[in-house]
Structure 1
Amino acid sequence: MRTQQGLTLPELLIGAALIGVLAGLAIPAVKGVIEQTKARTVSDRFEAELAFARSEAVLRRRQVVVCRTRDFERCLDWGAWSAGAMTFEDRNYDRDLSPGETVLRVQQEKDFNGLHMVGNANRPVIGFRPDGRSAGSSTTLRICAKSLAALRLLVINTGGRTRTTPAGRDTPACGSDWKANGA
């Protein structure tokens, strides 16, 4: 008499069902980790851009501005920072790119990894004075997932220093300022 080797059809079906259930539980968690990693990358990159702007302001002894843009020729007063941003030397202190002013670096929409970054409507540009201080009030930029849920915060204080932190449960989503401003 031969002994049975292998699995029966019911055993295979139960095993496949268990694998499906476990995969169904793991995929959302993995997506969350991937989104958080993307958000950290975007916040670290933009924090480095702000540090660059600040150091250039001190080095050049002129105001340096980081602003939202779509065409890299003029600053926008509204919309998502993730549509594009440019850093330039603001010689005439008008907080907009003027003829003769040098664009130092740009960040294109693709550099934001499909995430959204928005800020306060009352702070359309982030400028740094020749002494490295911020040329304006403190502000917070929110980095959000495609679902517009806030993932990370990038805080710029009046001294010109920046820091990043994970978004809390009570952090507003990006939807209101992202959709309303047509970004």
Structure 2
Amino acid sequence: MSKIDHSLFAANEHALEDNFGDCPECGKSLHIKHSKSGPFLGCEGYPSCHFSKPLHDNQTTLLKTLEGVACPECAANLAIKKGRFGMFIGCTNFPTCHYISAIKQQEDTHVTCPKCHAGQLIARTNKFGKQFFACNHYPRCRYVLNFKPVEQPCPECGWSVLISKKGQLHCPQSGCGFKQDD
């Protein structure tokens, strides 16, 4: 039976703690710091040095160039790209041209927004591919539903929209418990 070499586990400091290089502004070492937005690299000379940079690279990646599909703004080729909010179609002439388009077109449900009464609820997709329904007057109106809306008033509370969930109609209002078979 072999013995374990305990000297391997007796490090005084963590092995990766100072593996991020030196600050380009003051030369002190960079460390992982945490904020409400998440982890980042910051200079140990803070507050006299304010250098910081993101820990994770959130740059856009070009996945595939769409040959023969011209940008409507500058006539360069369009490409499928992946950014921090998911996949999209963008111009290959970026940053000169800022044209972008969603891969999936927004589907109009023809249901009037029950909050602002001016917009329509449209089907959208988040960056993970999950569908939700939001007012097309965003950001002025931030009404969102996670299930398909049905333009029918709730018989209990009078809210102008119900949602279709697991073969039943439900009232989306938190205080109302209305349910009915679809």
Settle same-fold status: TM greater than 0.5: no
Q: Hey, which of these two has a bigger chunk of strand by percent?
A: 2
Larger relative contact order (CA 8 Å, sep ≥ 6): 1
Q: Hey, which of these two has a bigger chunk of helix by percent?
A: 1
Point out the structure with max Rg over C-alpha. Answer: 2
What range describes the TM-score normalised by the shorter chain of this pair? under 0.3
Q: State TM-score, norm by structure 1.
A: 0.20
